[in-house]
Amino acid sequence: MLHNLQIEEMHAEVESPEKRARALLGQMTLEEKIGQLSQVNGSGHHLHDDIRAGRIGSILNEVNVDEINEAQRIALKESRLGIPLLIGRDVIHGFKTIFPIPLGQAATWDTESVRAAAAVAALEAASKGVNWTFAPMIDITRDPRWGRIAESLGEDPLLCSKLGAAMIEGFQGSRLSDAGSIAACAKHFAGYGAVESGLDYATANIPENELRNVYLTPFKAAADAGVATFMASFSDLNGVPASGNEFLMKQVLRDEWGFGGFVVSDWDSIKELTVHGFAADDRQAAYEAASAGVDMEMASSLYREQLPALIESGKLSESRIDEMVLNVLRIKYESGLFENAYTDPHRFPALVNADHRKLAKAVAIKSCVLLKNDGPVLPLSVEHLSDIAVIGPLADDGYEQLGTWVFDGESHHSHTCLRAIYEMAGDKARVHWAPGMRGLRCRESVGLNDAVAAAEQSDVALLFMGEESILSGEAHCRADIDLPGQQEALIEAVAATGTPIVLVVMAGRPLTLGKILDKVAAVLYAWHPGTMGGPAIADILFGKESPSGKLPVSFPRVVGQIPIYYSRKNTGRPPSHDSITHIDEIDGKAEQTSLGMSAFHLDAGFTPQFHFGYGLSYTKFAYRDMSLSTHQLRMGETLTLRCVVENIGERTSEEVVQLYIRDLVGNVTRPVRELKGFQRLPLQPGESREVTFALHTDDLAFYDRRMELVTEAGGFHAWIGSSSDPELWAEFEVVD
């Protein structure tokens, strides 16, 4: 005969999270309901009474597993209804094992790498009791001045959608209730990456057509991938702050997309509705957020303080609160917290273990982008070098290589570049180490002479330049995105020695490198590469690995070109290399050297320094034999595009093959190029493979001027190649 507890467990397995949530909701007081909508920062004894009373639904920023287990015990055993807690943490690109920053992961163009990195991050975080992360950040951004570009997946909707979905799959696993899975959060909904002047918390003005065709695309993909939660943006969108934006939260997210998880505010963003001037006081701010569809409040306490009075006055219905609570409870049931809220760290693998470090290194290798390689000077060979200069503070800084948004990673776990180069050189070459400057932002020349001396006695100078981690991330925006401090002067001084320079850049954003590009023989862009950045970079520099990363964002020549991105509109007067005007300085006078009237900057041209999708290799790839299964495609059919890619060099490497299209005529103007597919392709020297892309007519759809998603008949161009400046071209037509 089954005990009652066993019967309850059997019923729990059969009943859906929805049914269980509704049954629990029917037992809750108003205070307990509002408690489920309240997230507080930290934990400890001062919160225990509120947990017992059911006034807290989630805790933020606690990673002491004993504290978390005690909080869960109180919630389960000492509160009236025994509702477990969600434990949130910003696990952005790793927990203890730190992977490249998200922008660096985007440079891998590899969904499996991104998924695997998120899975390790989730596993490590879960071992400490964390069951919810505030990632991925899938804001489309085209402004490298914005500090949070480091946390983004780049400028393109398709690439961001694919990688964002992969990250969600990594965090959440096959089921939220599985050990090692944690709930993901798609943020920041929506338009945050388009803030004016690349300035954090600023306003974003995005026409609805552009919003739907570009900025909402990754969020729709996240919803389709089953993301558990969304986070509202700090910023206002077209005059309505996201935390009070009913169009976003109800019309788009709930009604159009059918999202069934819950929405959390960003930190204090409900309270900040009054600062925006959108709400007159705290009570109106709480009303606007709850009415718009923000289910849980992060950090601030307006819901707890103001919702009871709003309900009592009749301004807000308790049925609206019930909807919000159901959204939260549903995720708690799906996460298996009612059955398994406690964490036993001994049931998890060790943090920063060998397998995790191996993966971190592999992802870092794929993230590095080779931007220049004259000579080629790379790869280096210790057999042919007697002396190597290693210059720059970033060469031996385990903390800075981790990047922004690292709350739990520790610098002593980092394997630095200097250490890896010493290991690579062994007893075959001498390494001359000189920091060259006190810090990356230092404007003094202290250390410069030592750097020059190291270069003068060396066959090659490896310069590790870029940004400290604090220069990117939230509230760390820059108006000038040149190399900070005296870095350019240091590069020029080393260049004057005649020793060839290999510049390794670690940064949280694209930097403007035009002033020093002609001073260096090679540039390897390594972003902030994480725990295993040192050996990953060393393996590339010394040829154990071939670079294969591709840029997920365009690099401007100068900051005045921003925003500059590959999928621009054509305009009525599009620029071309044959139609632009150049202004040159001749004897102090501006001289016009060619004629043309089109959309470009007189002093910068119309092309970026490095375009989206660009990245060199230690081998060469040839593209040929592009073919289409048909040149006339009917609605509802699929077009197959093929080409042959051959490794015509002497090294094994991987190529990222990219498919672009252009819709020549549309109900609204369409970009000159749009990414529609990509594949990572490993090739041995002399090996060639056929690459196939399938393009359904639905893949050609866009939101028209009526905000309807349509595929229109008409002519299209298609390209396949190694970047957004591709090698092969064809055309086709869609017919009704």
pLDDT digit string (tens) for 325-356?
999 999 999 999 999 999 999 999 999 999 99
Question: What is the percent of the chain where pLDDT is above 70?
Answer: 96
What integer pLDDT is reported at residue 109 of this predicted model?
Answer: 98
Which amino acid would we find at residue 641? Answer: L
Class of domain 621-735: mainly beta
What integer pLDDT is reported at residue 581 of this predicted model?
Answer: 57
Whether the predicted pLDDT of 439 surpasses 70: yes
**Which whole number is the average pLDDT over 176-192?**
97
**Which whole number is the average pLDDT over 140-159?**
98
The mean pLDDT value of the chain amounts to: 95
**Which whole number is the average pLDDT over 258-269?**
98
**Which whole number is the average pLDDT over 530-558?**
98
Number of Cβ within a 10 Å radius of residue 125: 26
What integer pLDDT is reported at residue 485 of this predicted model?
Answer: 95
Catalytic residue among 139, 236, 266, 295: 266
Angle between helix 282-292 and 318-334 (nearest 10): 60
What integer pLDDT is reported at residue 445 of this predicted model?
Answer: 83
Strands 583-586 and 589-592, how do they pair?
antiparallel
Least confident of 199-213, 567-581, 645-659: 567-581
Whether the predicted pLDDT of 590 surpasses 80: no
362 upstream amide cis, omega within 30 of 0: no
pTM, entire model: 0.96
Per-residue pLDDT tens over the stretch 503-542: 999 999 999 999 999 999 999 999 999 999 999 999 999 9
Across the strands, what pairs with 555? Answer: 610
Predicted confidence band of residue 584 (pLDDT cuts 50, 70, 90) = low
The two structure tokens encoding residue 343: 């964490």
**Which whole number is the average pLDDT over 646-654?**
97
Task: For residue 421, give Cα distances in angstroms to 374, 415, 425, 545, 584.
Answer: 22, 11, 6, 14, 44
What integer pLDDT is reported at residue 576 of this predicted model?
Answer: 87
Strands 714-721 and 653-663, how do they pair?
antiparallel
**Which whole number is the average pLDDT over 600-620?**
95
Whether the predicted pLDDT of 4 surpasses 50: no
The two structure tokens encoding residue 421: 């180069």
Predicted confidence band of residue 587 (pLDDT cuts 50, 70, 90) = low
Predicted confidence band of residue 592 (pLDDT cuts 50, 70, 90) = low
Q: Could you give the CA distance from residue 532 to residue 500 in angstroms, rounded to a whole number?
A: 26
Predicted confidence band of residue 693 (pLDDT cuts 50, 70, 90) = very high
What integer pLDDT is reported at residue 14 of this predicted model?
Answer: 64
Question: What is the percent of the chain where pLDDT is above 90?
Answer: 92
What integer pLDDT is reported at residue 583 of this predicted model?
Answer: 54
Tell me, yes or no, if 699 is annotated catalytic: no
Whether the predicted pLDDT of 246 surpasses 80: yes
529 upstream amide cis, omega within 30 of 0: no
Whether the predicted pLDDT of 585 surpasses 60: no
Task: For residue 188, give Cα distances in angstroms to 11, 141, 152, 264, 564.
Answer: 37, 12, 10, 10, 22
What integer pLDDT is reported at residue 416 of this predicted model?
Answer: 98
Predicted confidence band of residue 8 (pLDDT cuts 50, 70, 90) = very low
What integer pLDDT is reported at residue 589 of this predicted model?
Answer: 54
The residue that leads in pLDDT, 54 or 44, is 54
Predicted confidence band of residue 1 (pLDDT cuts 50, 70, 90) = very low
Contact 229, 295 (CB under 8 A): no
**Phi, psi (5° rounding) for residue 505?**
-105, 125
Per-residue pLDDT tens over the stretch 440-497: 998 888 899 999 999 999 999 999 999 999 999 999 999 999 999 999 999 999 999 9
Predicted confidence band of residue 591 (pLDDT cuts 50, 70, 90) = low
Least confident of 156-160, 299-303, 570-574: 570-574
